[in-house]
């Protein structure tokens, strides 16, 4: 597939990916979305449906057993899954987030050990960066990895870890050289089965309830030297480079949530009658739907442009990844709120999916860097003149 597409028309390959993903999601994911939310349980049936179509980790290269779908195609997959169920969209999104450090900087041995099980659907991969006292200021982390012979001993706590306890593999960032700040952080692969790894209780969240979020504890976890990703001291750089790419997936998730909300509200407005006519005939409702459609169209163009830059590794990816994530998530929050309004009292009930979509949308403004942080990133990139090159 080529990422040199026209901004106004995608090649047929991507239309085929969308059609395949939508078919799977309409029949194998959407029917389980409400239950995953209401019971706050991982959507195993949705995971099975995604695995059956190789959409659970579409980004993994074919040489490691994956579907080999590029960044744009992966964004489309995540968009379509999120349209059906935001919790389920975190399966492909977090598999990419957790494994991308290996793809970017891991040794061939690490890639061949850990990527094929994820590609086969036998394991999932999570990403451990945030800590109780190190959120937006990730470089202030205190999790330590200390050399011990030819290996390492890992101690610390990571917080807000998506799919914690479900994933088999974790990319973990830890301080290896205290006093060096960001340059003293390294990245490691940790397995769920490693002695000393344990998990906290799942957080009680506003949304994405079907995707468990919990603390991960490391108590004297012994790691062999070959678990190091990249070089010692490169961990923070790896973490930030990864987020440049995966903020695009959060933009895609937000885009899918917004599209799902617009689709549901549009269908409702065409059927619901008041004063002898469908409410879609009333200008006040029309304006809400029209504004949502415009914002979704703009968010989609920006997200796809960022995805193409991710695939090519363009110099302005940092700007576009932050901009797409920020714009699409802000749009999703506004759109889902407005679509609840279209349904009125019904939108406020669990009989319809809009209130769930509104709750799910909120997290897209927070994780992988709050939107306030994204605006800082955008401003710094502007100061560098990245858009003028």
User: Could you give the residue numbers annotated as active site?
Assistant: 368
Residues 6 or more apart in contact with residue 245 via CB below 8 angstroms? 71, 96, 100, 310, 317, 321
Q: How far apart are CA 291 and CA 212, in angstroms?
A: 33
> Closest by alpha carbon to 73, among 261, 321, 310, 260?
310
> Closest by alpha carbon to 91, among 239, 258, 254, 211?
211
Is the Cβ–Cβ distance between 369 and 247 less than 8 Å?
yes
Q: How far apart are CA 78 and CA 94, in angstroms?
A: 10
323, two tokens: 């901009």
SS3 132: coil
* Tokens 């306890």 found at: 165
Is the Cβ–Cβ distance between 187 and 173 less than 8 Å?
yes
Is the Cβ–Cβ distance between 336 and 261 less than 8 Å?
yes
């Amino acid at each position: 597939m080529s990422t040199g597409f026209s901004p106004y028309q995608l090649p047929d390959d991507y239309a085929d990916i969308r059609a395949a993903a939508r078919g799977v999601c309409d029949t194998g994911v959407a029917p389980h979305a409400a239950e995953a939310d209401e019971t706050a349980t991982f959507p195993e049936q949705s995971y099975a449906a995604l695995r059956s179509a190789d959409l659970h980790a579409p980004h993994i290269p074919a040489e490691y057993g994956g579907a080999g779908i590029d960044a744009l195609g992966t964004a489309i997959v995540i968009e379509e899954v999120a349209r059906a169920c935001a919790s389920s969209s975190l399966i492909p999104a977090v598999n990419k987030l957790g494994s991308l450090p290996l793809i970017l900087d891991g040794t061939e041995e690490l890639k061949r050990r850990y990527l094929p099980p994820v590609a086969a659907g036998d394991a999932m991969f999570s990403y451990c960066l945030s800590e109780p006292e190190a959120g937006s200021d990730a470089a202030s982390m205190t999790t330590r990895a200390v050399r011990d012979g030819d290996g390492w001993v890992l101690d610390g706590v990571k917080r807000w870890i998506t799919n914690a306890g479900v994933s088999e593999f974790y990319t973990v960032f830890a301080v290896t050289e205290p006093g060096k700040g960001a340059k003293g952080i390294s990245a490691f692969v940790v397995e769920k089965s490693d002695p000393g790894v344990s998990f906290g209780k799942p957080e009680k969240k506003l949304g994405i309830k079907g995707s468990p979020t919990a603390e991960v504890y490391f108590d004297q976890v012994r790691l062999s030297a070959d678990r190091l990703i990249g070089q010692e001291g490169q961990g923070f750089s790896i973490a930030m480079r990864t987020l440049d790419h995966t903020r695009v997936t959060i933009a895609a998730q937000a885009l899918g949530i917004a599209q799902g909300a617009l689709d549901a509200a549009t269908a409702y407005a065409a059927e619901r009658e008041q004063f002898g006519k469908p409410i879609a005939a009333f200008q006040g409702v029309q304006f809400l739907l029209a504004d949502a459609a415009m914002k979704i169209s703009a968010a989609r163009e920006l997200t796809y442009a960022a995805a193409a830059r991710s695939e090519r590794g363009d110099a302005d990816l940092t700007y576009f990844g932050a901009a797409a994530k920020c714009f699409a998530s802000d749009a999703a929050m506004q759109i889902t709120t407005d679509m609840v309004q279209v349904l009125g009292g019904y939108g406020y009930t669990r009989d319809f999916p809009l209130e769930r979509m509104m709750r799910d949308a909120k997290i897209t403004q927070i994780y992988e860097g709050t939107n306030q942080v994204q605006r800082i990133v955008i401003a710094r990139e502007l100061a560098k003149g990245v858009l003028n090159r």
